[in-house]
Amino acid sequence: MPHPFLSTSRRGLLKGLGGLALGAPLFSALRGQAANGQAERVIFFYFPDGVVGPSQNGEASLWHCTGSESNFQLSETLGGLSNHKDRCVFFNGLSMGATDSGSHPGGAKKLLTAADYGNNESIDQYLARTAGWSSPWRHLLLGVQANYNNASGDKHISYPVAGSSLPPQDDPRQAFADIFGSYNHGSVDSGGEAAPSARGKVIGAVKEDLLELRGQLGGVEKDKLDYHVSSLEELENRLGGGGGGGTAASCGDPAIDTSAINDGNLYDAGTFPAILRAQTDLMVLAMECGITRVGTIQCASHTSELLMSRFAGTDFYDPNYDMRSHQASHYGASHNRSSREFSAYLAQRKWWVQQYAYLLDQLASRPEGDGTMLDHSIVVLVTEVCDGNTHLHDNMPFVLAGGASGRIRTGRLLQYSGDRHGNLWVSVGRAMGQDMGYFGDSSSGPLWGLVDG
Amino acid sequence: MTWLLLLSACGISSVPKEESPGTGIGGEELWSCDSTGTHAPRQLRLLNRREYQSTVRDLFGLGTGASCSSDTDCNLETESCTAGRCSADPCGTGTFVLPDAGYGSVHVAGAFNGWPGTVAAGGWAMAYDATGDRWWLKAELGEGSWQYKYVLDESTWIADPTNPNQADDGYGGYNSLLTLSCSGGGLDDIAGLDLTAAFPVESRPQHFAFDNNAAAGLVSATLAEAQLDAAEEVAGLAVLELERLTGCNPSDDSCAEAFIRDFGGRAWRRPLTESQVQRLLDLLLGESDRTEGFSLVIQAVLSSPYFVYRSELGVARGDGSYALDAWEQAAAMSYFYWGTMPDAELFSAAAAGDLADSAGIRSEAERLLADPRARGTLATFAQQWLGVEAVLTTQKSEDFPDEVRKAMLAEVGDFYTHVVLDSSGRLPELYTADYTLANPTLAAWYGLETPGSDGVISNGDRAGILGMGAVAATYAHSDQTAPIRRGLFVREALLCQSLGTPPANAASVPTVDPSATTRERFSQHSSDPFCASCHQYIDEVGFGMERLDTVGQWREEENSFPVDASGNINDIEKLGNRMDHPYQSLPELGELLSASERVNACFSVQVMRYALGWDPEEDPLCAFDPQRQVLLENDLDMRQLLLSVPSSNAFRIRE
């Protein structure tokens, strides 16, 4: 059965969003909101369990590119990015540091926080409350089976406060309803004046309580309460500002395809590709409509039991043999192409790159300003370790795509020698218009040579 | 390679401390502590989804609220027993009751199930209630007019003699007619709302098994909006029956104020301050429409930090520490035992100062644990402690029906609750019981006898929780058992032993091979000295469960080879002791665990983690050693440990 918001309520949604766009004082210019020379948006795209990096026996990485800054070859794993090669920046030699190197959870904690043990806010959350503060949704945190089997907190990569992560929203139907359905709280619903002001009054009363409580605590639980206040202010923004001001036709009639997804198969491995596609489409739609500037898509989680061998239509599809992501990642000491684990692992990693490429395709196919959405975006591909067998935190296999509204010259291979990945997050933050000096416990400034100006 | 090297490769110090901390099973040396005891931090604890749902239900619960263990303990026509308490049925619930007249069986047949003549054909079997000498059934029919008949002994069809509403059955007789309407709605419908469907799942930090971790309980914008939506939905129903809700004339200002004091006080689990009353009153009276004013107040109260967080901040004692005040103590107790807000009696005890000393706390603790409402919370604790909620979603190669998965999860909760409340209450019984509690579906899946009405059956050689299907299936891969995951489950969940992270270049799970047993395929772990440094502690424990396959069924053979379920659970009390404890079967493994000091200590740790929503920085075995002492002094009676928690220093005194 199709989701109600995608079928019967379509008309209501259309009306809601169209009307909101008309009376949107705060966000009417959101799609052009970023100051000149700033990236409009950033997306962090995570997949689990690393890549085929340098092997234990010393064979060269099948992920990292070779060549000079401007004249280089895509690696075997990254072949799926050939259409976007000149819109990407590739990295060699970025490090997450020695702490917990060799560990999946240790890497996942450091990944977006740039701090050992996840003892920092993550970069996506930081940008949500800075660059994204005035967006209707400061942050869109979408998952794909990221909470499978009650995944514990170290498996999630987004940290609103130091030491505590947030579970992503794994159900694109619910996420879609949250974003495009609840917008009826705005002033355009046929109910007139009462409905929106009621929600606003309730939030006002709750904020008073929060400030009273925080005042009594003298610093105890300050982070928790500050974050709570910030969440309510985000909701107030939505009420006050209404719609995202997106002008694309799709914003007036928002839809994503969730026809293959139901309550019973949300955590079936075979449904994973359809969910990922829906979440990716939703992220692009929300950004196209100016609803958010900061997004995170978390595919599964580290040490994943995800049965990728059940992905129909892939070249690693094997209904008769169960191959999990993490199982494949322990492929052995060498790149042995006759090994079942190795060949599956390499093919899986190519598939993740293709999913990232699909996200880039979507952004590149939508005009924006003098170019495309991709030209004004930053899209970062990340995972929590380098080679899936050695689990080292050096030479991290990250890719950055998008021109950041001209702040980042793409089509380059950048070489570093152990520069910390916190510097990359500083550079991303600067391209998003934030005056950042450092980020996390290890960065020393922006990543040399990445962002212009 | 020496043992010392092997151990250090696994990150385990094998150098004993000078002072001997005593001995445990087989004379094994125990772990040592520099100091024991701890205090939880001052903290705010976000209501998790189950607590939120139960709390709202109880806040508006206008059923009799009586304690119950079955629907028949309640006013059967209008109430159900939910989480140990009688609460009003949601609209759309059909209740069928027939006085007995010596029938062997009765079932309900109607338009809703296709008029079946037998239970096998889909008839809804009614249950016999000996106390009321009646047959009964409740079913979610939904809104509409429903025709039905009773079928006695699968042969005689009769109309419901207690129902005057009838319709022609087309055969010269009458069908009974039940009309259910959900229009209008009101307070009674609140209990039936699924309020938390849009709430994000709880985040559980690494090594913290429970859904109530205080530090991880954060209100994101997504959660804040879902809370506001839930409050709006509740308020929308509540204001339909304002006179019933307030018990006074809602257009009187004094009625509004009285409501704010009463409702607000119960929702925030403490009396409101005068300024809080005034703020809410201003909000209410500020609306020209009185109903809207009440609606706003209900929404504001339910979305407030004073509602969504439980305060465990305490009052300064003058020595740098803080003690929970009476209201905090009452709430901390009700959520620990019941997973919901205090009832009127517990609020009264707090108001009367009865919770100021250990004796008063003890007396309330005994009442709360004896109440049927404690059962659901005990079951949840066990399911989370053992990590087996994943049995509902874990992917398998074999067919693994949802009803079996659910029955397995229920088994863990039912068995634990049974041992604690209905049996010896002793911890060892969890590992040595030769029985379990299963529904007929699960018993058939296990190949065991069909259980009687109490669900208790002999479990073969499944040895308490160790052989439960939920444990076996959760800690297995899709296509093969996982001795490593099972061994780690015992070490981490049952013994609180941490083996650190696996080495970076650890080999993958051995390839499935039909010409060998799983055990043989894992032999590299013991033949390679590097692997053996850790896996000596893991595989030989997991092998004990090898007779349980990936979906929790018993097997004597694997790939036509006999299964070898012998093993060795070395160093039970402390890794690095280098003491062997061999066993030949799962029950023998259970016996070893049941005799271990470490098991007692680890259970105490898990209970305290759950109670406090917190894990200490220091070794939890030492921090919660006072709780282990309670077990030791009381013949390992878990009830005595559970009763001691609310008066413990760790619980009452905060730093």
Based on the fold, state whether residues B250 and B135 are members of the same structural domain: no
In a domain, B140, yes or no: yes
Q: Pick from A55, A155, A202, A311 the residue to mutate for testing the B interface (most B CBs within 10 Å).
A: A202
Please indicate, yes or no, whether residues B253 and B232 belong to a single structural domain of this protein: yes
Q: How does DSSP assign A108-122, residue by residue?
A: HHHHTT-SGGG-S--
Encoding tokens for residue A277?
Answer: 């596609």
Q: Do A153 and B395 touch (CB under 8 A)?
A: no
Helices (H) and strands (E) in chain A, counts: 11, 11
Please tell me the distance from the alpha carbon of residue B201 to that of residue A151, in angstroms, as a whole number: 10
The reply to whether B200 and B238 lie within a common domain is yes
Of the listed ranges A300-314, B77-91, B174-188, B618-632, the one predicted with least confidence: B77-91
Q: Which residues of B touch A332 (CB under 8 A)?
A: 507-508
pLDDT for the residue numbered A190: 36
* pLDDT tens digit sequence for B506-557: 777 777 788 888 888 887 777 777 788 888 899 999 999 999 999 999 999 9
A270-324 pLDDT per residue, tens = 999 999 999 999 999 999 999 999 999 999 999 999 999 999 999 999 999 999 9
In terms of domains, do B173 and B231 share one?
no
Total domains in chain B come to 3
**Domain containing residue B134: CATH number:** 2.60.40.10
Query: What's the pLDDT score for residue A115?
Result: 97
What pLDDT does residue B8 have?
A: 57
pLDDT of amino acid B65: 64
Is residue B209 situated within a structural domain?
yes
Q: Which of B48, B93, B53 is nearest to B75 (CA)?
A: B93
| Residue at B625 is within a domain | no
Is residue B411 located within the same domain as residue B263? no
Do B198 and A174 make contact, defined as CB atoms within 8 angstroms?
Answer: yes
User: What is the model's pLDDT at position A355?
Assistant: 98
Place of tokens 């979603």: B393
Separation in Å, CA A307 to CA A269, A320, B478? 6, 12, 8
Determine, yes or no, domain membership for A190.
no
A166's tokens: 């947030």
Confirm whether B599 is domain-assigned. Answer: no
Q: Is residue A374 part of a domain?
A: yes
Chain B residues whose beta carbon lies within 8 Å of the beta carbon of residue A228: 218-219, 224, 305
Residues B137 and B275 in one domain: no
* Residue from B44, B48, B222 to probe the interface with A (highest A Cβ count within 10 Å): B222
Could you say which of B207, B217, B394 has the minimum Cβ distance to residue A149? B394
Using CA atoms, how far apart are residues B354 and B363, in angstroms rounded to an integer? 9
- More confident position, B338 or B78: B338
| Structure token pair of residue B83 | 């989480």
Say if residue B83's pLDDT is above 70.
no
Nearest to B221 among A231, A389, A391 (CB): A231
pLDDT value for B531: 80
Is B627 a domain residue? Answer: no
Same domain, B300 and B412: no
Assess whether pLDDT exceeds 90 at residue B88.
no
A149–B300: do the CB atoms touch at under 8 Å?
A: no
Considering the domain boundaries, does residue A206 fall inside one? no
- The 3-class SS string of A50-91 reads CECCCCCCCCCCCCCCEECCCCEECCCHHHHHHHHHHHEEEE
B178 and B192 both lie in a single domain: no
- The rounded distance, in Å, linking the Cα atoms of A179 and A169 is 12
Burial (Cβ within 10 Å: 0-12, 13-18, ≥19) of residue B125: middle
Residue A214 covered by a domain:
no
Report yes or no on B401 lying in a domain.
Answer: yes
Residues 6+ apart with CB under 8 A from A290: A27, A30, A31, A33, A135, A136, A243, A244, A245, A246, A251
Phi, psi of B2 (to 5 degrees): -85, 165
Tell me how close the Cα of B201 comes to any Cα of chain A, in angstroms: 7
Domain range for A400: 29-179+249-431
Q: Point out the residue among B206, B215, B304 whose CB comes nearest to the CB of A152.
A: B206
Which residue would you say has higher pLDDT here, B634 or A28? B634
Distances from the Cα of A243 to the Cαs of A19, A432, B232, B248, B406, in angstroms? 8, 22, 22, 42, 43
Lowest-confidence segment of A15-19, B120-124, B489-493, B534-538 by average pLDDT: A15-19
- Interchain proximity A332–B508, CB inside 8 Å: yes
Which range marks the domain in which residue B239 is found?
Answer: 45-52+188-310
The CATH number that applies at residue A260 is 3.40.720.10
Supply φ then ψ for residue A95, to 5 degrees.
-125, 145
Residue whose structure tokens are 């009625």: B255
Q: Which long-range contacts (CB under 8 A, 24 or more apart) does B16-19 make?
A: none
Cross-chain Cβ contact B295/A198 below 8 Å = yes
Contacts A333 to B, Cβ<8 Å? 505
Contact B218 A228 (CB under 8 A): yes
CA dihedral B629, B633, B634, B635 (to 10 degrees): 100
At B606 the pLDDT is 98
Torsion over CA: B167, B171, B173, B178 (sign): negative
- Which chain B residue's Cα is nearest to A154? B206
Per-residue pLDDT of chain A (453 residues; tens, 9 = 90+): 333 333 323 322 322 232 233 223 333 334 445 666 899 999 999 999 999 999 999 999 999 999 999 999 999 999 999 999 999 999 999 999 999 998 999 999 999 999 999 999 999 999 999 999 989 999 999 999 999 988 888 999 999 999 999 999 999 999 999 888 754 333 333 334 434 479 999 999 999 999 999 999 988 999 999 999 999 999 998 887 654 445 555 677 889 999 999 999 999 999 999 999 999 999 999 999 999 999 999 999 999 999 999 999 999 999 999 999 999 999 999 999 999 999 999 999 999 999 999 999 999 999 999 999 999 999 999 999 999 999 999 999 999 999 999 999 999 999 999 999 999 999 999 999 999 999 999 889 999 999 976
Closest approach of A409 to chain B, Cα-based (Å): 35
Report chain A residues whose CB lies below 8 A from the CB of B217.
224
Residue A193 within a domain? no
In chain B, residues with a C-beta closer than 8 Å to the C-beta of A202 are 228, 231-232, 296, 299-300, 303
Name the residue of chain A whose CA is nearest to B306's CA: A209
pLDDT at B381 over 50: yes
The region of weakest confidence among B2-11, B82-91, B210-219 is B2-11
**B476, part of any domain:** yes
Residues B132 and B239 in one domain: no
Strand pairing report for A140-144 and B435-437? unpaired
pLDDT on residue A19: 29
Residue A189, pLDDT score: 36
Of the candidates B42, B201, B221, the beta carbon closest to that of A167 is on B201
Answer yes or no: is A314 within a domain.
yes
Question: What pLDDT score was predicted for residue A5?
Answer: 30
Q: Examine residue A55 and state whether it is found in any structural domain, yes or no.
A: yes
* Residue positions counted in chain A: 453
Instruction: Please state the domain count of chain A.
Output: 1
Per-residue pLDDT reduced to its tens digit, B494-505: 999 988 777 666
Which residue from B551, B559, B483, B577 is spatially nearest to B523, judged by alpha carbons?
Answer: B483
Q: Are B152 and B170 members of one domain?
A: yes
Given A153, A206, A305, which is nearest B300 (Cβ)? A206
Q: Is residue B325 part of a domain?
A: no
The DSSP symbol for A377 reads E
Model pLDDT, residue B12: 66
Computed over every residue of chain B, the mean pLDDT equals 91
Same domain, B207 and B276: yes
Residue range B370-375: mean pLDDT, rounded: 92
Please tell me the distance from the alpha carbon of residue A424 to that of residue A433, in angstroms, as a whole number.
14
Statement to judge: residues B247 and B396 lie in one domain = no
Q: Are A423 and A398 in contact (CB under 8 A)?
A: no
User: What does the pLDDT read at residue B183?
Assistant: 64
